[in-house]
Amino acid sequence: SVTNKHRGRGGSAVYTWEEVQKHCHRSDKWLVIDRKVYNITQWAKRHPGGIRVISHFAGEDATDAFVAFHPDPNFVRKFLKPLLIGELATTEPSQDHGKNAVLVQDFQALRDRVEREGLLRARPLFFSLYLGHILLLEALALGLLWVWGTSWSLTLLCSLMLATSQSQAGWLQHDYGHLSVCKTSSWNHVLHKFVIGHLKGASANWWNHRHFQHHAKPNVFSKDPDVNSLHVFVLGDKQPVEYGIKKLKYMPYHHQHQYFFLIGPPLVIPVFFTIQIFQTMFSQRNWVDLAWAMTFYLRFFCCYYPFFGFFGSVALISFVRFLESHWFVWVTQMNHLPMEIDHERHQDWLTMQLSATCNIEQSTFNDWFSGHLNFQIEHHLFPTMPRHNYHLVAPLVRALCEKHGLPYQVKTLQKAIIDVVGSLKKSGDLWLDAYLHK
């Protein structure tokens, strides 16, 4: 079956990129790491990060993604060994799809420097204090009602404090999910389940399997779940025109920058995510995550039932989720939505991450408000880096981008939020033009 396969050193098979690229189907997946070719067809189903994230690299070079996602590559190599089927022919370049070899090597050199300088090592005190301020907010919200009662104004203040602790717990679970806090993956996983499960009532597996895909292929249609808008919005410059030409009108897209305010920020967490989380836990029979999530709801109702009764407590958690949802949606969209959104373009790691990502200015407030995702570029290049080190690597990343002529965008918080609406309007107008005239 293999036309351009030869025997290399030690009898191992040798392949060309052309041959590797043929194996990119659901029932037949190969990928390349450090010039070695692996058949991941069966392994993908058992992959701890999820089947989808690894399958997005079928037929491709996955070296930079492999290094970025796995804090202990030597441990992972044990699992790789049985999947090895050969290597690239010596005549083949190390990069596929005509990627810029110098750029790729420069980024790998920066990655090595980051590891050498200890920028992937977390400060336990930072994360302990961070967790402390979340627990303190939870306790204060409850103490407020305990001491002063449940007037409308105090209930509102309690809701704002809970929404703040929920949002901040959201940024903290994100740190654990990326394995960026503890030395061992297993401790990261346990604490991740505690923070996302017990403190937030959500599922660690649901989050990871969704979020790793976003990191692997940000703003790539059909690979990044965050740009799968289920026909409710058209995004970027290409999709609106495709919908317009096909005369697809599931929604009045030329008004999407207006209806976004009604169905985006208010509903993503309380409706869309909540349904998705429970669907995922039940359909995948993920009873461990379900048990963790149940401890959240149990604690919440034990705390607030005496004050508000059952339906009052349901109303409270719904209102808290509604408030948190606005915070979450604006922060997560402002780094990515106004950037390039396209089909798979086979870019190198650095170029792909920078075309899909922008930063927000550094300030103490912005750091806290966004969970340090104002350094979204650095976070996307080094997902396992603890967030308190982003500002240290940022100048090095900026210099690398200048050297290779890559745009490194930094905006004010205000401009970033306005750009979200502007990009939705631009896409909606592109759709209308194509719908009417093409």
CA distance 435 to 321: 37
Q: Tell me the pLDDT tens digit for each residue of 225-268.
A: 999 999 999 999 999 999 999 999 999 999 999 999 999 999 99
Does residue 2 carry a pLDDT above 50? Answer: no
Residue type, 83: L
Q: Tell me the pLDDT tens digit for each residue of 179-199.
A: 999 999 999 999 999 999 999
The band of 5, judged by pLDDT with boundaries at 50, 70 and 90, is: low
- Asked if 200 and 296 touch (Cβ cutoff 8 Å), the reply is yes
Q: Tell me the pLDDT tens digit for each residue of 401-425.
A: 999 999 999 999 999 999 999 999 9
Mean pLDDT, residues 108-130 taken together = 97
> 192-197 long-range contacts, Cβ below 8 Å, gap at least 24?
193/288, 193/289, 193/292, 194/292, 195/131, 195/169, 196/169, 196/292, 197/289, 197/291, 197/292, 197/293, 197/295, 197/296
255: which 2 tokens? 């008004």
By C-alpha distance, which of 178, 217, 172 is closest to 198? 172
Q: How far are the Cα atoms of 144, 204, 261, 418 from residue 330, in angstroms, in the given order?
A: 29, 22, 10, 10
119: which 2 tokens? 């920028």
pLDDT at 1: 43
Q: What are phi and psi of 321, to 5 degrees?
A: -65, -35
CA distance 318 to 266: 11
> 91-96 long-range contacts, Cβ below 8 Å, gap at least 24?
91/16, 92/15, 92/16, 92/17, 93/17, 94/35, 94/61, 95/61, 95/348, 96/17, 96/20, 96/21, 96/32, 96/60, 96/61, 96/346
Better-scored residue on pLDDT, 387 or 1? 387
Does residue 7 carry a pLDDT above 70? Answer: no
146: which 2 tokens? 């305990």
Does residue 177 carry a pLDDT above 80? Answer: yes
Does residue 357 carry a pLDDT above 90? Answer: yes
pLDDT at 3: 43
CA distance 139 to 165: 10
412: which 2 tokens? 């004010």
Mean pLDDT, residues 139-159 taken together = 96
Mean pLDDT, residues 35-63 taken together = 95
Q: Tell me the pLDDT tens digit for each residue of 126-145.
A: 999 999 999 999 999 999 99
Q: Tell me the pLDDT tens digit for each residue of 295-336.
A: 999 999 999 999 999 999 999 999 999 999 999 999 999 999
CA distance 62 to 379: 18
Q: Tell me the pLDDT tens digit for each residue of 58-92.
A: 999 999 999 999 998 889 989 999 999 999 999 99
- Asked if 213 and 221 touch (Cβ cutoff 8 Å), the reply is no
Q: Tell me the pLDDT tens digit for each residue of 333-348.
A: 999 999 999 999 999 9
Residue type, 291: A
Q: How far are the Cα atoms of 65, 137, 261, 354 from residue 404, in angstroms, in the given order?
A: 20, 45, 38, 12
The band of 438, judged by pLDDT with boundaries at 50, 70 and 90, is: confident
The whole-chain average pLDDT of the chain stands at 95
- Asked if 30 and 20 touch (Cβ cutoff 8 Å), the reply is yes
Mean pLDDT, residues 1-11 taken together = 50
Q: Is the Cα dihedral 18, 21, 25, 27 positive or negative?
A: positive
Does residue 11 carry a pLDDT above 80? Answer: no
Count of CB atoms within 10 A of residue 21's CB?
Answer: 17
